[in-house]
Amino acid sequence: MKKKKNSEVKQIDDHVVDNKDRVMTTNDGVPVFDNNNTLKAGNRGPSLQQDHIFFDKLMHFDRERIPERVVHARGSGAHGTFEATADISSITSANFLKKGTVTPVFVRFSTVAGFKGSTDLARDVRGFSVKFYTQEGNYDLVGNNIPVFFIQDAMNFPDVVHAVKPEPNNEMPQAASAHDTFWDFISLMPEAAHMSIWVMSDRAIPRSLRMMEGFGVHTFKFINEAGKTTFVKFHWKPRLGKHAVAWNEAQKISGFDADFHRRDLWDAIENGDFPQWDLGVQLIPEEDEMKFSFDILDPTKIIPEELVPVQIIGTMTLNRNPENFFAETEQAAFDPGRLVPGIDFSDDPLLQGRIFSYMDTQNYRLGGPNFHELPINRPINGKHNNQKDGFARMDILKGNTSYFPNSQGGGCPYHAMLKGEVGYETGKQEVQGNKVRERSDSFADHFTQARLYFNSLSPEEQDHVINAFSFELSKVKNEDIRKRELAILNQVDKHLASSVGDNLGLTPAKSLDPLTLQFARQNHPNYPIQPKKPEVERSEALSMKVKPGEGTIVSRKVAFLVDNGVSKASVDKMKKALEKEGAMPVLISSKVGKLTFKEGGEAEIQHTYLTDASVAFDAFYTPEGDSVAKLAKNPDYVQFINEGFRHCKALAFAKGAEELAAKSFIEKDAGVIFESAGDLTADFIEQMKQHRIWEREMDRKVPS
Ligand code: HDD
């Protein structure tokens, strides 16, 4: 793929090593004569202490691992660019947000709880970290795909993470929240109610990293040239829409392809299907800080788009895969404390705590304070200061002055104020108050927005939330925990609580559990506090259901279920129609290698019923031909289409293949397209655009 040489790419390319046509060397560049045999006394004799070449190799190998991230260990990264498309210069002086400016970015998506090698399809929040290499230094927007957080104060962060991670005695379960310690914690923290509904919704099992929203979560501040503050919430809106898999699918994908999301992102970029997101902002004038029924500093709250619309200010395109996973994705150090002029923190107590944690963790994980010098972390505008030495220092500072002020070095590097240049200036803010460890009662309404989210979902999405809570709480062994969580759900929505209760054989209690109340009163002595009337009770933007007439099938994978003797004409007709819409047909047959067509000629097969699973595809097409008789006898084929049906995906059958539907549990139904009944290709594409045919899910489950 042709590479675009932006300054970040150049900075990385300068460090890329290509071994092609090179002789192997030691780490000191000494050519290695024999890389197979250690040095021995006689060819059957003991190894010699003087084998420096062997030690050089083993010493490096023994130290190849670094600590994985304590959270968000599992991640996938990509390079790209961000282009600012709107004039917001009256709101922020941030240079990279000036209309028309193009800034290199590196993005890392992650799950939170699982270890580095865990499955991509865990039910979990996804991290959405973006490093902007701006001309005024690096800016990191370190967000998630869910706009709220479990806790309100950073003091509880290690606790929530300990609760969700595998339990400390037996280190189980991996990459899963469905266990006692997590729900014990959540059921004692009513502030987690809102986020827990998001995590139990389809948002936590995205179809693709390319099909999820991103959020800065906290309220931040924009500062303009005159020093005026505007509060801001950041949103990433995916051009491919927001979509999920079903939970049953997620569990199966984890077995078939634990790298499902990583592969999908990698392949899309290699194929030139560059994923894109628009960056949106919600702007709140400083004077309106206290205007809402909730506190904008509370990270368990969203600002509904109906109250403050999202304005699009730029577009991000991911167009280049990393050369090397470790050097780039693993060593990328993100830090929400890394701001550029024009952007500032708010007083959100969760955000304030993050300002310490990331710097500290990078120092530990990347082995000392010079991690900024790794190619992936270097600012492209250069770094100039008097910091020096430390493990693995790479920059070679010229001259004999490394202090300020100095006269010997001409007073350099000088600070921006000395020459009237732009430097980072914190927005002015009057601060008053006693030193206290307390929480504002404006943070005490834990259920109104949880309800807003649940009420904004379609009935099918609500059903998924109910099923997810039922699954997770069924896995909890301690019944007291189940009851406590049910009591919380009952504060959010009666239907939610009673439906989950039915599945657990429990009747939800009317009020919160005394233990939950006791903990809540440690933060708010008068808890529960009468909530303010919310401005909106439903927000359309929160549902992921595709609206009629919307939706795209760009980059969707369609399984063409074939075998030798399939009709080329029947394959090509559908292939052409799908490719025109940007979808990706994939031929699946009983073995890899050559597939012969009915009309003569061959195709190369890469995917088989053996290696691939129905859950990895978005839709299914069975063309006609002599293949039909073979498929009728192939249980793996029948499993493919049954499962596709169960997961509410569109299925199309060419005229001569329609009888195959009867071999499975599939009948004439929504999203099941028979060529004899209409326009095969157009109907198929229309159904695929909906992403799923949810109406089929409610009462037409089939075994698979
Ligand atoms: Fe965090 C990593 C997102 C709260 C402490 N966090 C990390 C990553 C993301 C987030 C996306 C992965 C970065 C990467 O790709 O390398 N974290 C969030 C969001 C939060 C949040 C959206 C709340 C709104 N985090 C949070 C708090 C603390 C931390 C309150 C501690 C006080 N987070 C960390 C960390 C990590 C991290 C321990 C682990 C690895 C790393 O930083 O680089 O410092």
Q: Which domains does the chain have, with CATH numbers?
A: 557-699 (3.40.50.880)
- pLDDT over 70 at 97, yes or no: yes
Q: Give CA–CA dist 282/316, Å, rounded.
A: 18
Q: Give CA–CA dist 689/275, Å, rounded.
A: 18
DSSP 597: B
Backbone angles phi, psi at 667, to 5 degrees: -120, 180
Say if strands 276-285 and 311-320 run parallel, antiparallel, or are unpaired: antiparallel
Contact between residue 192 and residue 150 where contact means Cβ atoms under 8 Å apart: yes
- pLDDT over 90 at 702, yes or no: no
DSSP labels for 482-502?
Answer: HHHHHHHHHHH-HHHHHHHHH
Predicted confidence at residue 2, as pLDDT, reads 46
With pLDDT > 90 as the criterion, what percentage of the chain qualifies? 95
Half-sphere exposure of 240 (CA within 13 A, CB side): 25
Predicted confidence at residue 1, as pLDDT, reads 43
C-alpha 137 to ligand 1 mean position (Å): 21
Q: Give CA–CA dist 299/151, Å, rounded.
A: 7
Mean pLDDT on 228-257: 97
Q: Which of 68, 70, 71 best tests ligand 1's pocket when mutated (most atoms within 8 Å of CB)?
A: 71
Q: Which of 334, 351, 374 best tests ligand 1's pocket when mutated (most atoms within 8 Å of CB)?
A: 334
Q: Is the dihedral of CA 539, 541, 546, 547 positive or negative?
A: positive
DSSP 298: -
> Which residue in the block uniquely carries the two structure tokens 């045999």?
37
List the catalytic residues: 72, 144
Backbone angles phi, psi at 340, to 5 degrees: -115, 165
- Cβ neighbors of 439 (< 8 A, separation 6 or more) are 152, 153, 523, 524
Contact between residue 265 and residue 275 where contact means Cβ atoms under 8 Å apart: yes
Q: Give CA–CA dist 603/463, Å, rounded.
A: 43
pLDDT band at 430, cuts 50/70/90?
Answer: very high
Contact between residue 609 and residue 636 where contact means Cβ atoms under 8 Å apart: yes
The string over 178-208, giving b where at least 16 C-beta atoms fall within 10 Å of a residue's C-beta and e elsewhere, is ebebbbbbbbbbbbbbbbbbbbbbbbbbbbb
- Cβ neighbors of 625 (< 8 A, separation 6 or more) are 562, 565, 566, 567, 570, 597, 598, 656
Convert the pLDDT of each residue in 554-586 to its tens digit: 999 999 999 999 999 999 999 999 999 999 999
- pLDDT over 80 at 184, yes or no: yes
C-alpha 425 to ligand 1 mean position (Å): 24
The candidate with the shortest Cα–Cα distance to 102, out of 83, 87, 86, is 83
> Which residue in the block uniquely carries the two structure tokens 């004077």?
287
The atom of ligand 1 lying closest to the CA of 361 is 44
pLDDT band at 663, cuts 50/70/90?
Answer: confident
Tell me the three state secondary structure of residue 372: helix
Tokens of 326: 């470790």
- Tally Cβ neighbours within 10 Å of residue 556: 26
Predicted confidence at residue 569, as pLDDT, reads 98
Predicted confidence at residue 3, as pLDDT, reads 46
- Tally Cβ neighbours within 10 Å of residue 657: 25
Contact between residue 276 and residue 214 where contact means Cβ atoms under 8 Å apart: no
DSSP labels for 309-336?
Answer: PPEEEEEEEEEE--S-IIIIIIT----T
248 lines ligand 1 (CB under 6 A): no
Going by CA atoms, what residue is nearest to atom 20 of ligand 1? 143
ipTM over 0.95: yes
Mean pLDDT on 5-34: 90
The atom of ligand 1 lying closest to the CA of 72 is 12
The atom of ligand 1 lying closest to the CA of 71 is 39
Predicted confidence at residue 700, as pLDDT, reads 63
Tokens of 483: 């009851």
Contact between residue 587 and residue 595 where contact means Cβ atoms under 8 Å apart: yes
Please name the amino acid found at residue 625: G
Predicted confidence at residue 690, as pLDDT, reads 94
484 annotated ligand binder? no
pLDDT band at 10, cuts 50/70/90?
Answer: confident
234 annotated ligand binder? no
Q: Is the peptide bond before 531 cis (omega within 30 degrees of 0)?
A: no
Mean pLDDT on 125-135: 98
> How does the average pLDDT of the chain come out, rounded?
96
C-alpha 164 to ligand 1 mean position (Å): 14
Residue spans of beta strands (DSSP E) within 323-431: 343-345
Convert the pLDDT of each residue in 291-305 to its tens digit: 999 999 999 999 999
Predicted confidence at residue 650, as pLDDT, reads 97
Q: Give CA–CA dist 365/221, Å, rounded.
A: 30
Predicted confidence at residue 684, as pLDDT, reads 97
69 annotated ligand binder? yes
Q: Which of 66, 68, 69, 329 best tests ligand 1's pocket when mutated (most atoms within 8 Å of CB)?
A: 69
Contact between residue 568 and residue 594 where contact means Cβ atoms under 8 Å apart: no
Residues paired with residue 432 on neighbouring β-strands, in sequence order: none
Predicted confidence at residue 699, as pLDDT, reads 66
Nearest-10 crossing angle of helices 180-188, 479-492: 40
Cα dihedral: 658, 249, 507, 176 (round 10): 170
Contact between residue 467 and residue 509 where contact means Cβ atoms under 8 Å apart: no
Q: Give CA–CA dist 407/492, Å, rounded.
A: 65
Say if strands 593-596 and 276-285 run parallel, antiparallel, or are unpaired: unpaired
The string over 399-408, giving b where at least 16 C-beta atoms fall within 10 Å of a residue's C-beta and e elsewhere, is eebeeeebee
- pLDDT over 60 at 21, yes or no: yes
C-alpha 465 to ligand 1 mean position (Å): 25
Predicted confidence at residue 370, as pLDDT, reads 97
Q: Give CA–CA dist 424/432, Å, rounded.
A: 24
pLDDT band at 697, cuts 50/70/90?
Answer: confident
Predicted confidence at residue 704, as pLDDT, reads 64
The atom of ligand 1 lying closest to the CA of 109 is 15
- pLDDT over 90 at 695, yes or no: no
The candidate with the shortest Cα–Cα distance to 327, out of 273, 384, 374, is 374
Rg of the chain on CA atoms, in Å: 28
The string over 75-110, giving b where at least 16 C-beta atoms fall within 10 Å of a residue's C-beta and e elsewhere, is bbbbbbbbebebebbebbbbbbbeeebebbbbbbbb
Q: Give CA–CA dist 408/410, Å, rounded.
A: 6
- Tally Cβ neighbours within 10 Å of residue 592: 13
pLDDT band at 168, cuts 50/70/90?
Answer: very high
Backbone angles phi, psi at 391, to 5 degrees: -55, 135
Predicted confidence at residue 703, as pLDDT, reads 66
Predicted confidence at residue 548, as pLDDT, reads 85
Q: Is the dihedral of CA 141, 142, 144, 145 positive or negative?
A: positive
345 annotated ligand binder? no
Helices (H) and strands (E) in the chain, counts: 19, 18
Tokens of 496: 């939610």
